Amino acid sequence: MAQAVRFSEFGGPDVLEVVEIPVPEAAQGEVLVEVVATGISPVESAVRLGAHPERWPVEFPSGQGREFAGIVAGTGPGVTRFHRGEEVMGYVARGAQATHVVVPEAQLLPKPTSLPWEVAGSLYVAGTTALGAVEGLNIGAGDVVVITAAAGGVGCLAAQLAKARGAVVIGTTAQARFDFLRQFGVIPLEYGADLAANVRAVTDQPVTAFLDFLGGQAASAAELGVLPSRVFTTTDWAAVEDNFAVKLYAGDTIALGRIAQLAAERQIRLPIADVFPLADIGDAYRQLDQRDSAGKIVIGMKLVGYDRQKVKPSRLKEQDVTIGVPTPHTPLNVEDMLPPVIGDGRARQLRHGEEPHPRGTPEPPEQPPEQ
């Protein structure tokens, strides 16, 4: 049996459940992948909440997630590019948050060996969206770009791509993430009511492009004099319908290959904010909904503990009631919260002289060392 995330009604993270399903079978031109890591994104929260169902239709029960990295567990008729046991990364229309996923061969790429599982599994949505934004607006030297939610996965990547092209980048985030953005050369701004005034306070140059990854900020772009054709949004359909912004979508396999190569060559970095097991999918989205994580939040199927690992206990149990309420933050030493390591299980088998576990069937979980 396989496991998959499902929801049968619109709502917050509480409507999510992990259910057992038969391991799917690959049909003509399809590949069965045993998922090792999969990312989560704000668009998935919007879809699950029932925002604009006419544009994001949902058939219950519905799966979640678009991006993943894993190991080929089987191939359907006609598949020639991939074979059992190969490491791959890719995307589906919906349903990547599962232990096994069936994907068209054309939506898969070999995973670069230098990419960690958590990066490869969470790169598609943020990476191809960021690439489409920067290239779609032809951002370059002389541009001043405002990016909202700049510390998030897509915002962080878009900022790096824009900086690499010579643009000045101003990014909004929680105050605790200022130093995080400065490491990429971004001018940080705290979330606030008067974004246009705050932008004018840090630059006397005209803003020429606006990337709204937070949502609801198109009015500020208009105040700053940015042309609607140079205002991109990922979730604000109202702004698109009112011709204040252009809707931005994730890209194709070619775009994924390009952004994966940049990440593999360390020309860009995709920071990982946290890693959750599949069973804690609700907590992962609760953290995402706070919109102050630095980088991507990832679901890992095979998490491994290690000596001196430190994880904050009960980190999100009371968070729902404080969403949107500013709270004080104290500096966090990275050693205070080290996320689990993602492994694919093969290293342990080979270390103990075992035969590799047959792909396509669940593997007994490894027991982490006592903390």
| pLDDT-derived band at 182, boundaries 50, 70, 90 | very high
pLDDT of 210 > 90? The answer is yes
State the pLDDT at residue 342: 78
> Of all helices (H) and strands (E), which one includes residue 34?
strand 30-39
State the pLDDT at residue 368: 41
> Of all helices (H) and strands (E), which one includes residue 48?
helix 42-49
State the pLDDT at residue 315: 45
Q: Are 103 and 90 in contact (CB under 8 A)?
A: yes
Q: Compute the average pLDDT of residues 56-83.
A: 96
Q: Which of 8-22, 94-108, 333-347 has the lowest mean pLDDT?
A: 333-347
| pTM, 2 dp | 0.83
Round to whole Å and give the CA distance between 62 and 66. 13
Round to whole Å and give the CA distance between 355 and 124. 32
CA geometry: angle at 123 spanning 168 and 133, to 5°? 40
| pLDDT-derived band at 291, boundaries 50, 70, 90 | confident
State the pLDDT at residue 354: 44
Q: Pick from 125, 90, 65: which is nearest to 281 by CA?
A: 65
Q: Pick from 206, 207, 160: which is nearest to 184 by CA?
A: 160
Q: Is 309 helix (H, G, I), strand (E, B) or coil?
A: coil
Q: Is 233 helix (H, G, I), strand (E, B) or coil?
A: strand
State the pLDDT at residue 308: 65
Q: Are 276 and 340 in contact (CB under 8 A)?
A: no
